[in-house]
Copies of this chain bind each other. A is one copy, B any other.
């Protein structure tokens, strides 16, 4: 008996081997990138359609890259097409929140050694609530980005090359035993990655001590450093599973300021769009729900490959950060087995007696059960910056539409 299309897609999800092989610039590495392109989260739209924080982030990106000297110049540039807008996913990358990429930004290069494809992600800005990807841009943010891109990233790249690459799946497997779900919590994975990088760092002779000290802090103090590696790894995994004719497994979930979108393996790179996700958030003190703003996000690529909310019972410490008690996290996690094709052979949850994480969201099962995929995400505020974190659920509309299209294709 031959494997079903979903078996094939699931096998690719579960047998991928993501390895960090290099760090370089978006211009040099992302297929199709140009000096005057700014990438952002979600299916790409015309500039006029971007609103709120995501629009501000695009403008900030143009200013950071020097594509405009003023805010008005940036707007004119976007409107005229002199500055081009792209969707990260279409350039092999994934964006966090607004997900801004400009040509000079540093990106991680993750090679899926089992299938030969690449996944890219740029670097974490740091823990300050005001960040470019939360729709804010100013001198402080510019300086931080320039330090990450110009000083920190090249050191990491040199260490990674000295090591001949850093396999990420073993780190991710271990991190799930250490309280991470690799979306909203990356504490252990960041430490494990730092530990793998140490011998490479020790091999570098020409790094100023202050830069090295800053790097060690950045690698481990924010607890979010590894998220971008988790995202790049997940992108390389999900893309390997994309494009299997007849498969109803989801290969991307993301959103921009206008709504949610998914990709399904059997329909390749096309997007199925819908309304925004529904939110169950724990906001930081001093904020309320009226402030919640959607400014994009592609980190749900982690849920797409069996991590994040699909591994939340591995990450009980998250109850503090995003609300919810441990048994609720367990129940939510268990519910997701009803909509997935299989259990991940490597990513396992200690509390569930090392059961593999629910992996490979099947749009058919989502429609049949009514169980919506969950995601662990950071919540942006309309005033810019992060105002909380929580669990969101993808909108049913994307799945009913995807199923209708799959059935239409199948029936010729």
**Chain A positions near chain B (C-beta within 8 angstroms):** 174, 177-179, 187-188, 191-192, 194-195, 198-199, 201-203, 209, 212-213, 216, 220, 316-317, 319-320, 325-326, 350-354
Contacts and interface: CB of A to CB of B under 8 A. Distances in A.
A-side binding surface: helix, strand, loop or mixed? helix
Contact of A319 (B194, B195, B325, B350): B350
A379 to B, nearest CB: 22
A203 B212 CA distance: 10
Residue in A191, A216, A320 with the greatest tally of chain B CB atoms within 10 Å: A191
A216 B188 contact: no
B220 A212 contact: no
Contacts of A202: 201-202, 209, 212-213, 216
A213 B199 contact: yes
B198 A350 contact: no
A177 B350 contact: no
A123 B410 CA distance: 65
A316 B192 contact: no
State the copy count for this chain: 2
Given A179-B178, A199-B213, A351 B194 contact: no
A213 B162 CA distance: 14
Contacts of A213: 199, 202
A8 B202 CA distance: 47
A354 B178 CA distance: 16
Contacts of A317: 177-178, 350
A195 to B, nearest CB: 5
Given A316-B351, A350-B317, A199 B216 contact: yes
Residue in A187, A198, A209, A220 with the greatest tally of chain B CB atoms within 10 Å: A198
B195 A191 contact: yes
Contacts of A212: 202
Given A316-B351, A325-B353, A195 B178 contact: no
Given A202-B209, A316-B350, A195 B216 contact: yes
